[in-house]
Amino acid sequence: MPTVVFVCGWLGGKPRAVAKYAAMYHETLGLDTFTLLSTPSDYIQPASRVHAASFRDFQTWLANHHDTTTRLVIIPHLMSNGGCYSWSCFQNHLDRAGIAFDVPCLILDSALSAPRDSSNGPIAFTAAIKNRVVQHICAAILTVLMTVAVFLLSDVFGMEGPLEYNYNRLILRDAAIPKLFLYSRGDSVVNPNHIQDAIAKANELKTPVVQVVDFETSKHVAHLTLAPERYKQSVHAFVGQFVKLKSSL
C-alpha cells in the first residue's frame, strides 16, 4: 500500500518553513508527502469546506503518483492547533470521496490545546504583525471576540469549535491510533499543561503507543530548528515501528 505523510503546518506557517518538515520525510526517510497550510480563513467557514481546494489538488497528485484503486496509508504530521484542524477537516473530503485509507500512527508537534481554550488564538492570529503595539491591541480585541465566539458556539448553539473538534477527533475518536507528542515546556503559545493533559488522556484511553519527547527550551513549532538530529531521530524511530522506511538515519 502506498504511504503518504500529510505535513500539516501551523496557523500562518509559511510554505518555505513548512517545507522543511516535508523534506525530512521525503529526503531522509524516503516517504512521499503532501502539504496542507493553515490560514485564518479556515476558522470562519464550515469545517466541511476547509481545504476543499487542497483536496482537489490532492486528487490530482494522487492520480499522478499512485494507483487510485489501492488503499492508502496516511501518516499525519500535525503542527500546532492549525495543523490539527487542517487534518481533521481534510478527512471529511477523503470520506465523502470514498477514498480508502489507514492511519497507522500520527505525530503531534506543539499540540494540542484544551477543547475550549482560546487563549492562544490571538497570539497565533497576530504573530505576523511586526508593530508590537498594534499586535497587542489586535490580540486584546481578538481575545474578547474569540471568548464570545467559543461561548456562542458551545453553550448557545451546541456546536464544536475548532479546538473541541480537534480534541474530539484526535484524542477521543482516534484513541486507537498510536501517537508521538513533540512539545516543549518552554512553549508560550500552546500551554504545555494542555499538551500534557492530552497525553494523559491518551494513556487513560489506552492508546496503544504514546511516545513523548520534551524539547524543554524550544519555542512553539521550533523543535526541529533547535534540535534537528533529535527531532529527526525521534520521528524516524516512531514512524519506523509502523511503516517500512526506505532509508535510515
Specify if 134 maps to a domain: no
Residue 244 lies in a domain: no
Alpha helices in 27-77 (DSSP H): 52-65
| pLDDT-wise least confident of 19-33, 131-145, 204-218 | 131-145
The predicted pLDDT at position 45 comes to 84
Say which residues have a Cβ less than 8 Å from residue 231's Cβ, sequence separation at least 6.
24, 182, 213, 215, 223, 224
Tell me the pLDDT of the chain averaged across its residues: 87
What CATH number did the domain enclosing 80 receive? 3.40.50.1820
Q: Look at residues 53, 68, 74, 76 and name the one whose alpha carbon lies nearest to residue 99.
A: 68
Whether residue 142 is predicted with pLDDT greater than 80 in this model: the reply is: no
Q: Which domain holds residue 63?
A: 3-115+162-239
Taking residues 133-156, report their average pLDDT: 58
**pLDDT at residue 128, rounded to an integer:** 59
Residue 224 lies in a domain: yes
Residue 149 placed within a domain:
no
Residue 48: the pLDDT is 87
Residue 191 buriedness (CB in 10 A; 0-12 / 13-18 / 19+): middle
Separation CA 80–CA 127 (nearest Å) = 14
The answer to whether residue 227 sits within a structural domain is yes
Q: Report if residue 136 sits inside a domain.
A: no
Q: pTM (2 decimals)?
A: 0.85
Query: What cell does 189 get?
Result: 503559545
Q: Which of 121, 181, 236 is nearest to 245 (CA)?
A: 236
Burial class (CB in 10 A: 0-12, 13-18, 19+), 163: buried
Distance CA 154, CA 161 (A): 7
pLDDT at residue 215 in the model = 97
pLDDT of 192 strictly over 50: yes
**Residue 175 pLDDT:** 98
pLDDT tens readout for residues 109-129: 999 998 856 556 555 556 656
Residue 185 and residue 214 in contact, taking contact as beta carbons nearer than 8 Å: yes
Question: Is residue 77 a part of any domain in this protein?
Answer: yes
Residue 37 cell numbers, joined: 497550510
- Amino acid 53 reads A
Write down the pLDDT at residue 185: 96
Query: What are the φ and ψ backbone dihedral angles of 148, each rounded to 5 degrees?
Result: -65, -40
* Sign, Cα dihedral of 190, 83, 173, 24: negative
Question: Does residue 248 fall inside a structural domain?
Answer: no
Beta bridge partners of 28: none
Q: How many domains does the chain have?
A: 1
- Residue 75's pLDDT is 98
Confidence band (pLDDT; 50, 70, 90) for 161? Answer: confident
User: Residues 203-223: pLDDT tens digits?
Assistant: 999 999 999 999 999 999 999
Q: 55-59, 124-128, 152-156, 184-188: which has the minimum mean pLDDT?
A: 152-156
